[in-house]
Amino acid sequence: MTEFATRNVPADSGPQPDPGSPQDPSEADQEESGVMFAEGGELLIKPCHSNERDFYEQTVDHPNFQLFLPHYFGMLNLSGEQTASLLMPPTQTDADLVGAVPPRAPEDDSLRPIHSVPLQSAVCIENLLHGFSKPCVIDVKMALPSPTIEANPTEPPCINIRVASIKTHDESGQNRVEYEPDQQIISTTDSIAEEFRKFLPDHLNHEYREFLIKEYNLVLKELSQLIATEEVRLPHSSLLFIYEGDTERQQRILAEESESDVMADDEFMSGSEFDDEEDDDDDTMEDANDKMLYDLRLLDFTHSTWTPGQGQDADFLQSLDSLRDVLRLIL
């Protein structure tokens, strides 16, 4: 994975979002979603239920797992004025909340809310879109229940993932484009691949598109290896894929990275690579944030639990395998 592949803690630098970007919702939208932002947009404060709050708190015992999540800064107690359904609709995701999309009704009767309860706390997490100039995002729901339909040997098999939303930019880079896939369509590798082609359209620079797909695949592979060692259940969680849609920033970062690689080789040959090591450490986080071209994180833990003694999450691992098949198909 390249140096600018992932980030675990927000930095103070990096381009600010364009007005009207998914990171900069209107006051009305913030009131609708209940999400607040702090520290110049770096911090996202999300009202949540106790299950999700507890899940984040318990990740402290799973440091490797934390690397694939938004950085968790802690929790806040609320006044109790915020209310929400006892079970959040599985189609309402953290990605929706960042983009201030109003909640949608759940389609799974087993998770349909029974009544409303006051939200007494909020989690304070990293805003994954901070630092991107024109973020493009696809939100993929993971480890979903298998559809209750009879298998047809003449049709492609169903897979247990679904695309919840896509937010990208048109070829000019000036206009946001949003897709809300038909949630009634049964997911197959081919149907999810079509959604990813909207997320990674042909007008992207070919080398950049190929780079993104390969890096995403590498992160999914690393996540799969980790989940195989964890005893956790992650139904209806989400994987959020992000990349930089600002062409000028893409080109600048890639050019700088190429130049940096050449300089590193020269320093290694001359033996001077360790001369300024202490000074460089202070700038590492700031430089990493400024070099962000993409990110991929796991989120949405309303229904997630740690399950000691119950083994690996076979459903989530199956979802990861399906996603990697999709990426190979569109490469």
Q: DSSP readout, 235-264?
A: TT-EEEEEEE--HHHHHHHHHHHHHHHHHH
A 10 A CB-CB count for 138 gives 23
| Cβ neighbours of residue 176 closer than 8 Å, sequence gap 6 or more | 20, 21, 22, 167, 168, 169, 170
Has residue 102 got a pLDDT over 80?
no
Give the DSSP letter of residue 72. E
pLDDT band per the 50, 70, 90 thresholds, residue 4: very low
pLDDT band per the 50, 70, 90 thresholds, residue 292: confident
Mean pLDDT value of segment 246-262 = 82
pLDDT band per the 50, 70, 90 thresholds, residue 172: confident
pLDDT band per the 50, 70, 90 thresholds, residue 246: very high
Percentage of the residues of the chain whose pLDDT score is greater than 70? 67
Give whichever of 18-22, 106-110, 167-171 has the largest mean pLDDT. Answer: 167-171
Helix (H, G, I), strand (E, B) or coil at 326: helix
CA-based Rg of the chain, rounded to a whole angstrom?
20
The tokens for 277 are 């090591």
Helix (H) or strand (E) holding 226: helix 206-227
* pLDDT top residue among 255 and 217: 217
Mean pLDDT value of segment 100-113 = 36
pLDDT of residue 186: 86
Q: How far apart are CA 122 and CA 96, in angstroms?
A: 16
pLDDT of residue 287: 56
pLDDT band per the 50, 70, 90 thresholds, residue 262: low
311: left (phi over 0), alpha (psi -120 to 50) or beta: left
Distances from the Cα of 151 to the Cα of 158, 316, 318, 323, 325, angstroms:
9, 21, 18, 21, 20
pLDDT of residue 256: 86
pLDDT of residue 39: 85
Looking at domain 27-274+288-330, what is its CATH homologous superfamily? Answer: Inositol polyphosphate kinase (3.30.470.160)
pLDDT of residue 260: 67
Mean pLDDT value of segment 5-15 = 35
Has residue 289 got a pLDDT over 80?
no
| Contact yes or no for 94/84 (Cβ under 8 A) | no
Q: How far apart are CA 63 and CA 230, in angstroms?
A: 11
Percentage of the residues of the chain whose pLDDT score is greater than 90? 52
